[in-house]
Homo-oligomer: A and B are copies of this chain.
Amino acid sequence: MSKKILLSESEMPTRWFNLMPHLPKPLDPPLHPGTHQVITPNDMAAIFPMNLIEQEMCADPWIDIPEEVLKVLTMWRPTPLVRADRLEAYLGTPAKIFYKNESVSPAGSHKPNTAVAQAYYNKVAGVKRLVTETGAGQWGSALSFATNLFGLGCRVFMVKCSFYQKPYRKSLMRLWGGEVFPSPTEMTNAGRAMLARDPDTPGSLGCAIAEAVEEAAHSSDANYSLGSVLNHVCLHQSVIGLEAKKQLESVGLKADVVIGCAGGGSNFAGIAFPFIPEKLGGRDIKIIGVEPAACPTMTKGPFRYDFGDTAKSTPLLKMHTLGHDFVPAGIHAGGLRYHGMAPLVSAGIAQGIIQPENRHQLECFEAATLFARTEGIVPAPETSHAIRVAIDEALQCKKTKQSKVIVFNFSGHGHFDMSAYDAYFDGKLQDYEFPMEEMKKALAAVPEI
Which of chain B's residues have a CB closer than 8 A to the CB of A416?
415
Contacts A3-B75, A6-B8: A376 and B171 contacting too (C-beta < 8 A)?
no
Contact with B along A415-435 (1 / 0, CB 8 A): 110110110010000000000
- Considering the complex, give the chain B residue whose CB is closest to the CB of A105: B376
Which of chain B's residues have a CB closer than 8 A to the CB of A372?
106, 175-176
CB-based contact B74/A421 at 8 Å:
no
Quote the shortest CB–CB distance from A79 to chain B (angstroms).
11
Contacts A8-B2, A171-B422: A176 and B75 contacting too (C-beta < 8 A)?
no
Contacts A2-B9, A3-B9: A106 and B376 contacting too (C-beta < 8 A)?
yes
Contacts A6-B6, A419-B171, A421-B174: A75 and B106 contacting too (C-beta < 8 A)?
no
A75 to B51, CA, bound (A): 41
A105 to B415, CA, bound (A): 13
CB-based contact A421/B375 at 8 Å:
no
* Complex partner residue of A373 from B4, B177, B419, CB under 8 angstroms: B177
Which of chain B's residues have a CB closer than 8 A to the CB of A375?
75
A379-419 CB contacts (< 8 Å) to partner B: 415-416, 418-419
Stoichiometry, as copies per complex, reads 2
CB-based contact A373/B3 at 8 Å:
no
Quote the shortest CB–CB distance from A373 to chain B (angstroms).
6
CB-based contact A377/B2 at 8 Å:
no
CB-based contact A174/B2 at 8 Å:
no
Which of chain B's residues have a CB closer than 8 A to the CB of A422?
167, 171, 174
- Judge whether A62 is part of the interface by a CB distance below 8 angstroms: no
- Judge whether A148 is part of the interface by a CB distance below 8 angstroms: yes
- Judge whether A108 is part of the interface by a CB distance below 8 angstroms: yes
- Judge whether A117 is part of the interface by a CB distance below 8 angstroms: no
- Judge whether A223 is part of the interface by a CB distance below 8 angstroms: no
CB-based contact A378/B106 at 8 Å:
yes
A378 to B413, CA, bound (A): 14
- Judge whether A164 is part of the interface by a CB distance below 8 angstroms: no
A2 to B12, CA, bound (A): 12
Contacts A2-B9, A8-B6, A177-B373: A415 and B171 contacting too (C-beta < 8 A)?
no
- Judge whether A145 is part of the interface by a CB distance below 8 angstroms: yes
Contact with B along A364-376 (1 / 0, CB 8 A): 0000010011011
Quote the shortest CB–CB distance from A338 to chain B (angstroms).
25
A257 to B105, CA, bound (A): 28
- Judge whether A131 is part of the interface by a CB distance below 8 angstroms: no
Contacts A171-B419, A418-B172: A74 and B2 contacting too (C-beta < 8 A)?
yes
Contact with B along A1-38 (1 / 0, CB 8 A): 01110101110000000000000000000000000000
Contacts A418-B168, A418-B172, A422-B171: A74 and B378 contacting too (C-beta < 8 A)?
no
Contacts A106-B377, A171-B419 given; 6 further ones with Cβ under 8 A? A4-B9, A75-B376, A76-B376, A167-B419, A175-B373, A175-B418
